[in-house]
Amino acid sequence: MADRESGGCCRCCFSFIITLGLTSLFMWLSLRADNPKCTIKHFYLPALNKTLNDSKNSTLIFELKLDNGNKDKGIYYDPINLTFYDNPNVSQSLPMGNFIIPGFRQGQNKKAKRIESLEVNRTLATARAFPNGSAVFRVDMATELRFRIMFWKTKRHKLILRTNVEVDSEGAIPKDHQKKGFRLKSGAPEHWGGGAQIGLFVGLMVLVLLNFR
Ligand SMILES: *[C@@H]1O[C@H](CO)[C@@H](O)[C@H](O)[C@H]1NC(C)=O
Ligand SMILES: *[C@@H]1O[C@H](CO)[C@@H](O)[C@H](O)[C@H]1NC(C)=O
Ligand SMILES: *[C@@H]1O[C@H](CO)[C@@H](O)[C@H](O)[C@H]1NC(C)=O
Ligand SMILES: *[C@@H]1O[C@H](CO)[C@@H](O)[C@H](O)[C@H]1NC(C)=O
Ligand SMILES: *[C@@H]1O[C@H](CO)[C@@H](O)[C@H](O)[C@H]1NC(C)=O
Ligand SMILES: *[C@@H]1O[C@H](CO)[C@@H](O)[C@H](O)[C@H]1NC(C)=O
Ligand SMILES: *[C@@H]1O[C@H](CO)[C@@H](O)[C@H](O)[C@H]1NC(C)=O
């Protein structure tokens, strides 16, 4: 009697672990979301264009591309804070300018482009150019995201990225690099880990249901 009972319990326990494992895996796969790919595709400082001869111009024109690669998850962006620095070296750099892109909603599998211009500190921008006319700047990006998964939105999740942008003697990204652009990157892992928590929650629900069978 005692043997049969413990055998049944073992089988039940085994199937429970399998169910829990598969459910968690499925939930994790369907709920995890990738951060958007963010790229500086265009970056132009007319003041650094040697053929233009317009060193008094303090305009910076840039294009930011945001690529939501998630096939079934939309993204809500909070305002995107872009700061442009005169130097790739974080400990030496000074901010030349700042631009805020208003928050917006991006559908699943969609790309968004923002072409904007701002006035920057021209003294800092021109001081950084090498004798051959090229220069390297830094762009920092900070925002918060919520993912839309089926019918609900996730909580806010920080996205802090950075890249160095090289310009040639025309004050723009060299022609052979324009297609690729400069991808903004973070030091932190790229995946959103919230799915694991929900997987665990569903696993617990399964446990409760099994106990009432
Ligand atoms: C630089 O200035 C020249 C002369 O006006 C212009 O033809 C060229 O398109 C400019 N470069 C860029 C990258 O806009
Ligand atoms: C650039 O502009 C300055 C001042 O307007 C002028 O003296 C100079 O000749 C110009 N150089 C070229 C190459 O156009
Ligand atoms: C600076 O250059 C940009 C691009 O060439 C131009 O649109 C803008 O009008 C210029 N600004 C001034 C103050 O000349
Ligand atoms: C944008 O980022 C810069 C640099 O981190 C910061 O100084 C500034 O306060 C931020 N602006 C907003 C509106 O958060
Ligand atoms: C960045 O600047 C700091 C302080 O001046 C310096 O010690 C460091 O070597 C620099 N790093 C690079 C990669 O140039
Ligand atoms: C540009 O930056 C330099 C160095 O930080 C500063 O001394 C200067 O006042 C700034 N110019 C403007 C127009 O803000
Ligand atoms: C210009 O000079 C800088 C520093 O000396 C160098 O890193 C860069 O490769 C040069 N660019 C070109 C196009 O020669």
141 phi and psi, to 5 degrees? -125, 135
Output the CA torsion sign for 183, 185, 189, 192: negative
Contact 122, 58 (CB under 8 A): yes
Name the residue with the closest Cα to ligand 5, atom 6. Answer: 91
CATH no. of 36-191: 2.60.40.10
> Can you give the pTM of this predicted structure?
0.81
Is the confidence at residue 16, as pLDDT, over 90?
no
Beta bridge partners of 170: 49
What is residue 185's DSSP assignment? B
How far is ligand 6, taken at its centre, from the CA of residue 120, in Å? 10
How far is ligand 6, taken at its centre, from the CA of residue 123, in Å? 7
Determine which of 41-45, 53-57, 65-69 has the lowest per-residue pLDDT on average: 53-57
Sorted by where each begins, the domain ranges of the chain are: 1-32+192-213, 36-191
CA distance linking residue 211 with residue 2, whole number of Å: 20
Tokens (6 digits) for 199: 């997987």
How far is ligand 3, taken at its centre, from the CA of residue 57, in Å? 6
CA distance linking residue 122 with residue 79, whole number of Å: 25
For the chain, the maximum distance between any two Cα atoms, rounded to a whole number of angstroms, is 96
Mind listing the pLDDT tens digit for each residue in 21-38? 888 887 777 778 899 999
Name the residue with the closest Cα to ligand 5, atom 9. Answer: 89
